[in-house]
Structure 1
Amino acid sequence: MSTFTYNKWLIGVVIVGLLASLTIDWQRHTVEQANSTVEMVMEYEDIMELAQIEGVRPGEMFQQFKDAGITSLAVYETTLEKLNKSGKITALPGADILHKNNTGTLIDPFWRNLIAAGKIQAEDVYVVGQDQQVFQEVMADLSRRLGPGRVTLLADGDRPVLEAKANFEKVVKWNLGLATAELAVVDKLGFNVIARPTNYTKVTPADVDSVFQRLATVNNLSAIMFAGDEVLGYPNLLPLTASRFRERQLTLAMIEHPLQLQFLKQEGLTQLAAANNYRSARVYVIPKDEQVKLKSAEAIQRWALADQERNIRINLLRRYDKPEPGKTLTETNLDYVSGVKHALVAEGFSLGRAGTYNPYFPELWLIALVVLGATAAGVLFLSLVYPFGARWQYVLTAILAMLLILPILKGGGTLSRQMVALASASVFPALAMTWQLDRWRRLEAAGQFEHPASLGRIIAAGLGAIVIATFISLAGGLYLGAVLSDVRFFLEMEYFRGVKLTFVAPLLLVTIVYLTRYNLFDNVQLTDARGLWRQVTTILNYPVTMKTLLLVGMAAFAAWIYIGRSGHTAGVPVLGIELKLRALLEQLLYARPRGKEFLIGHPAFLLAVMAVYRQWPRLVQYLLIIVATIAQGSLVETFAHLRTPVLMSTVRGLDGMVLGAIIGIVAVVVVYLVQAVITRLGRSTVAHE
């Protein structure tokens, strides 16, 4: 039997790296615990429209939503279309005015005099003011967006009129700045204000300042959540925008992408977040097409989960447009808001201005130790695939660690850290299973498996093995969670790359290890590590039969399900029964474990122990070991979601181990009983013959 030596010095370096990882993870946990305030937001226009639908005074409706839990109102920029409907201004195309004059229906001498003076053009737009403040704001913003040469004041006084050279159908829908009247109303009602301005074409410093001048009178301005495809000031004036943010100590609201990976596309968003010293909060909003399919109870559960697991600190709630049975539309929405509030409070959150992370970056020397430990783990694994001298192991560790650490010590190294995270997610699950394989080999060589093991021995050995393997994999998760720990990853401005690969790499690595130790087609151990190449050749030369093709097809389908369900772009649907199981576990446990761990991987681990102790065919053992590796890889990959608190990721992995072990014990007992029944029936048949 070939000997694979575990280099104790490399293991010592791995332990040092783990201690550094634990230090960073604890610092990270402290930062995460300090960020626990959620801002409950609805759109000002949503509640105003609901008041009109229900025939309730706006002030009363706003107070009801405030009492239910809404802390802030989102205020968008106004448009000529909105102002027309509110009666605060009147916007008309010049063609309409001329038509009325030509048909004799234009009786107002004011307009007739303007026409007589040749000041009304069919292709232009005319804005008449009923409210002086609103009119002045509209004129100012039209001038910024069209240019001063295209906006002319035709009449002043009590009935001001301006002319804009623009297409009426388009200009009435343009954003024309934040309405100070709306901002004042929200401020007076006692809500926090979340402003939603847009950027300007060829933005100037005066444009940027104009937005903040309108916000200057707002006492309770908590955040700015930009609308449109760009943040204010993009591309050249982001430093000016950031300075205005810092002056008011404003939070930048960053809307999570519907696929839950980074944010809705807004040019300049992450640059502005960095310039604002990372005073940013992640925003979630349930898409309209999804919300109509959700009952309010399901939506409430989704909010609690989003705030817990995805670091959402601004909940932008949409209004339900249809009442629930036995309720009015107002009652439906108030109960919905109140339900979200109570769910968050029950989870330990407080309501108010959105919490933000301290700009946390771990000490570089701690990151360097983590990188060194991860490198040592990688070299250790290589030595367990194809043994080579200890001296060369140290040299390789030093060279690789130096190449990875130098960019970090220079103040960059994001790519290096992401590479180390990917290596940790791949190597540690493989090390966990490799250690177990070598332990079984030693027991087999010592003759421990010559006689069938009892059920109690199998379960005891399986529980011990699954605990040790899980903790080795958990170390990899703590490495990953530490090496990518900083505020950029918490906010998902940067993120772990290689999610799909982390689901596949441990399986490939464990397969390589298995083929260096066992003959896949015979119950014998290999004499040296070069057996890997001989087995690869054997597999490539294996006769292709219909049965083989069927097995390969089934394996490919399973791989499609396994990989397709990972990441953020999954095309494989989730079964309804699985969704119900998830919801149940979310309510029962602090952190819902992953199905691939407690339903598949960990039960397969205990069955693999049974297969080894009962000396089932090598191919069966291999398949069960590979399925068991799924859980180990999934456990580490959980930590790749840096927006999720590190404590929750840790508890999720341990919950999965406990629940999976219980299901695995049941599976082992069932298989044991089935085998016993089959054996007894076989003996009875022989006796009768």
Structure 2
Amino acid sequence: MATYRYNPVLLVLIVIGLAAALIVNWQRHGVEQANSRVEMVMDYEDIVELSQTEGVPLDVLMRQFKEAGVTTLAVYETTLEKLAKSGRLTALSGAQLADAQRAGYAVDSVLGGSNINTEALYVLGDGPVFEETWSDLIRRLGPERVILKDATPRRKVLEVLANPEKVMKWNLGLPTHELKAASGYGFNVIARPTNYTKVRPEDVEAVFARLQGIPNVTGIMFVGEEVLGYPDLLALTAQRMKEQGLTLAMIEHPLQLGFVRQEGLLPLATLLNYQAARVYVIPKDEQPKLKVLEAAHRWVVTDQERNIRINLLRKYDKAEPGQTVIETNLAYVAAVKQGLVAKGFTIGPAGTFAPYFPAAWLLALVVIGATAAGVLFLTLVYPFAPRYQYILLAFIAAVLVVPLLKGGGTLTRQAAALASAILMPVLAMTWQLDRWRRRPPTLPASLGRIIGDGAASLTLTVLLALTGGFYVGALLGDVRFLLEMEIYRGVKLTFVAPLVLITVVYLTRYDLFGGSEVRGLRDLWRQVTLLLNCPVKIKTLLVFGIAAVVLWVFVGRSGHTAGVPVPAIEIKLRTFLEQVMYARPREKEFMIGHPAFFLAVMALYHNWPRVLHYVLVVAATIAQGSLVETFAHLRTPVFMSLVRGLDGLAVGIVFGVLAVAGIYLLRCLLSALARRPVAK
């Protein structure tokens, strides 16, 4: 039997890396704990619309939503269409005026005797709203295309030389009257401006000039595909936001990975020294399918697990049974607030992360530990002399550490995190395989003995695999990753690679075909050759087909893709676990991997076929890989990732015991049936 030596120097380096990782994760935990304030936002227009459609005075409705939990109103840029519908000014196309003239109306007097341009748009009004509209039309079209045709003490007339239908829908700046109204009702305000085409400094200044006199403006959530000032004036935008103490609101992508595409968003966040908060909004086509309590529960889970600090709540357009539309929306807001407060959140202006970056020397120790883990794995597959191990270690560590010590190294850290996520679960399972080989289980094996050995061995393996999680959480634990401006790369590889590597390890230690003594790496190729030369039967193809489907589901369900749908019964199970546990464990762990670990122990005790034992070991590795990959979701607090893994272990032990007991009971039943005499 081939023996493998665990180099103590490499083990010490891994432990030192773990100590450094624990320090970084503790610091990160403090940063995450300090950011627990959630801003509850609704669109100003939504509440106004509810007031108009339901016939409730606006001031009454505003007070009710404030009492229910809304802290902030989002105010969008206005348009000529909105202003005309609200009666704040009049906007008519030249064609409409020509029609009126032909009908006998005195249109000439309206235009001060000027001829009508049927291809132009005419804007009539006076006062602050008209003046703001006029100034923004000039900024977007130029003074030569916005002409004052007539002016009296009570009315002014503008001729706008542009396509009337399109101009009516253009964004024309933040409406001061709405900003003041929202603030006047006692709410904070989030402004939602758009960028200008060929934006100029005076355009940026105009936006912030309108915000300057408005109290309680807490942040900006940009609309459109660009942030204000992109591409050349981001520094000016950042400067003005800093001066007014505004938080940058970054809207999470519907697939929950990254943000809705807005050019300049991430550079602006950097210029703001990460004074930014993540925003979530339930998609318009999805919210109507959710009951109020289901939607409220989603908000609580979202804020807990994804560092969302601005909840942009859309209104419900249909009432719940036995309620009015307004009662439904008030109950919705109140349920979200109550759920968040119950989980320890406070309600108010959005919290932001401190601009945390771990010390370079701590990260260097973690990277060296990850490198040592990689070298150790190689020695456990193909042993080679210690001096060559140290040379390899020194070379790889130097390549990875030098960029870190120079103040950069983001790619280095991502590479080391990927290596840690792949290698640590495999090393944990490799240690378990070698432990089984050194001390093979002995018969007779009682059910209690199998369960006890399985629970103890699984717990040790999980604790070893957690090293990889702590490595990942530390290496990618700065504020950029917490905000998801940078992400962990290699999610699919993280799920697949450990299964391949544990297969290599297994074939260097056990003979799948039975009988022969395995002597290391060269016997791996012998077994692969035998496997490739096996005759293919229809049932073999069916087995491989089933395995391919399982692999497709396994990989397709990883990450944040919409490739493989989640069954309704699984969604209900997830919701139940979210309600009864601090952090919902992953199904891959407690329903697949951990029970497979128990069955792998049982397979050794009862000398089941080696191929079956191999399949169970691979399935058990799935859980260890999933456990570590949990920490790769950097937007999730590191403490929650840890508790999720431990919850998975606890529930997995229960499922493992049930799996072993079920097999044991089935064996007893079959044995009893076999001993029954045949009826004559």
TM-score under structure 1 length normalisation: 0.97
Please identify, of 374-383 and 454-463, the stretch whose mean Cα deviation from structure 2 is larger.
454-463
2:624 aligned to which of 619, 632, 635? 632
1:248 and 1:391 map into 2 onto residues whose CA distance is 60
Q: 1:362 aligns with which of 358, 365, 375?
A: 358
Of 224, 248, 251 in structure 2, the residue corresponding to residue 255 of structure 1 is: 251
Aligned twin of 2:500: 508
* Structure 1 residue 593 corresponds to structure 2 residue 585: yes
Superposition deviation, residue 538 in structure 1: 1.3
C-alpha distance in 2 between matches for 1:504 and 1:391: 32
In 2: Cα distance, 1:185 partner to 1:334 partner: 20
After superposition, residues 207-222 of structure 1 pair within 5 angstroms as 207-222=203-218
User: Is residue 20–residue 369 contact of structure 1 (8 Å, CA) maintained in 2?
Assistant: yes
Distance (Å, rounded) in 2 between the aligned partners of 1:523 and 1:253: 64
Asked if 1:384 is matched to 2:376, the reply is no
Instruction: Work out the CA distance in 2 between the residues paired with 1:302 and 1:61.
Output: 25
1:107 aligns with 2:102: no
Q: Secondary structure at the match of 1:289?
A: coil
Rounded Cα–Cα distance in structure 2 between residues aligned with 1:523 and 1:191: 77
Q: Is the 8 A contact 2:119 2:161 kept in 1?
A: yes
Consecutive unaligned residues in structure 2, runs of 5 or more: none
Q: Which aligned pairs between 1:201-600 and structure 2 lie closer than 5 A?
A: 201-444=197-440, 448-449=441-442, 451-522=443-514, 524-600=516-592
Task: Kindly provide the amino acid, as one letter, of the partner of residue 96 in structure 1.
Answer: Q
User: What is the match of residue 33 of structure 1?
Assistant: 33
Does residue 177 (structure 1) correspond to residue 173 (structure 2)? The answer is: yes
Aligned residue number for residue 152 of structure 1: 147
Contact 2:112 2:149 in 1 (8 A): no
Structure-to-structure mapping, 1:655-666, within 5 angstroms: 655-666=647-658
1:190 & 1:415 partners in 2: Cα distance? 46
Instruction: Look up the equivalent residue of 1:594 and give its one-letter code.
Output: R
Instruction: Deviation per CA, 1:449-475: give whole Å up to 9, x if none.
Output: 3x3422122111111110011011111
> What SS does structure 1 have at the residue aligned with 2:625?
helix
1:646 to 638, 641, 644: 638
Distance 1:377 1:148 in 2: 68
Identity of aligned residues (%): 61
SS of residue matched to 1:41: strand
Q: Give the drift of 1:399.
A: 0.8
Q: What does residue range 115-154 of structure 1 map to in structure 2 within 5 Å?
A: 117-118=114-115, 120-129=116-125, 131-154=126-149
Contact 1:2-1:529 within 8 A present in 2 as well: no
Are the counterparts in 1 of residues 111 and 150 from structure 2 also a CA contact under 8 Å? no
Judge conservation of contact 1:252–1:280 (CA < 8 Å) in 2.
yes
1:101 and 1:112 in contact (8 A); partners too: no
Is the Cα–Cα contact under 8 Å of residues 75 and 183 in structure 1 kept in the other structure?
yes
Secondary structure of 1:412's aligned partner: coil
Higher alpha-carbon deviation: 530-539 or 427-436: 530-539
One-letter amino acid of the structure 2 residue matched with residue 337 of structure 1:
V
Aligned partners of 2:367 and 2:397 also within 8 Å: yes
Q: Residue 112 of structure 2 contacts residue 150 of structure 2 at CA under 8 Å; is this kept in 1?
A: no
Q: Report the alpha carbon displacement of residue 396 of structure 1 after superposing the two structures with TM.
A: 0.8
Quote how far apart the aligned CAs of 1:683 are: 4.1
- SS state at 1:439 partner: helix
> 3-state SS of the aligned residue for 1:324?
coil
Cα distance in 1, alignment partners of residues 303 and 312 from structure 2: 12
Which string of whole-angstrom CA distances, capped at 9 and with x for unpartnered residues, describes residues 171-218 of structure 1? 100000001111111111110000000000000000000000000011
Amino acid at match of 1:661: I
Which residue, 177, 184, 188 being the options, matches 1:188? 184
Conservation of the 8 A alpha-carbon contact between 1:523 and 1:618: no
- Which SS does the other structure have where 2:159 is aligned? strand
Q: 1:627-660, CA deviations, whole angstroms, 9 ceiling, x for partnerless residues?
A: 1111100000000000000000000000000100
Aligned length: 679
SS at match of 1:598: helix
Q: Residue deviations 1:419-471, cap 9 Å, x none? A: 11111110001001100111111123xxx43x342212211111111001101
Quick one: which amino acid aligns to residue 364 of structure 2?
A
CA contact (8 A) 2:111 2:157 kept: no
Q: Quick check: 2:20–2:365 contact (8 Å CA) kept in 1?
A: yes
Instruction: Find the counterpart in structure 2 of residue 673 from structure 1.
Output: 665
Q: CA deviation at 1:95?
A: 1.3
**Greater mean alpha carbon deviation, residues 15-24 or residues 90-99:** 90-99
The corresponding residue for 2:163 is 167
Distance 1:112 1:663 in 2: 82
Deviations along 1:86-108, one digit per CA (max 9) or x if unpaired, are 1011111111111221232x235
Give the Cα–Cα distance (whole angstroms) in 2 for the partners of residues 469 and 506 of structure 1. Answer: 14
- The one-letter amino acid paired with 2:458 is I
Secondary structure in 2 matching 1:636:
helix
Contact 2:425 2:625 in 1 (8 A): yes
Matched residue type, 1:70:
V
Partner residue, 1:69: 69
Question: Residue 283 of structure 1 contacts residue 312 of structure 1 at CA under 8 Å; is this kept in 2?
Answer: yes
Contact in 1 for aligned 2:75/2:178 (Cα 8 Å): yes
Q: What is the Cα deviation at residue 678 of structure 1? A: 2.1
Give the distance between the partners of 1:335 and 1:528, measured in 2 at CA: 65
Measure, in 1, the Cα distance between the counterparts of 2:338 and 2:531: 59
Query: Counterpart of 1:353 in 2: which secondary structure?
Result: coil
CA distance in 1, matches of 2:515, 2:40: 62
Looking at structure 2, the residues matched to 152 and 618 of structure 1 have their Cα atoms a distance apart, in angstroms, of: 87
Q: State the shift of 1:152 in Å.
A: 0.9
CA offset at residue 523 of structure 1? 5.1
User: 2:400 & 2:535 partners in 1: Cα distance?
Assistant: 45
Q: Amino acid of the residue matched to residue 552 of structure 1?
A: F
In the alignment, the residues of structure 1 paired with residue 29 and residue 110 of structure 2 have an alpha-carbon distance, to the nearest angstrom, of 69
The CA distance in 2 between the partners of 1:290 and 1:30, in whole Å, is: 35
Distance 2:342 2:87 in 1: 45
Letter in 2 for 1:63: R
Contact 1:523 1:617 in 2 (8 A): no
Q: Residue 530 of structure 1 aligns to a residue in which SS?
A: helix
* Contact 1:17-1:374 at 8 Å conserved across structures: yes
Contact 1:507–1:630, Cα closer than 8 Å, also in 2: yes
Question: In the alignment, what sits opposite 1:85?
Answer: 85
SS where residue 155 of structure 2 aligns?
A: coil
TM-score by length of 2: 0.98
C-alpha distance after superposition, 1:545-603 (max 9, x if no partner): 11111111010010011111111113111111111111111010000000111111101
1:314-339 deviations in Å (ceiling 9; x for gaps) = 00000000011111111010000000
1:545 partner letter: K
Partners of 1:362 and 1:685 in 2: how far apart? 73
State the Cα deviation string for residues 285-312 of structure 1 (Å, max 9, x = none).
0011000100001000000000000000
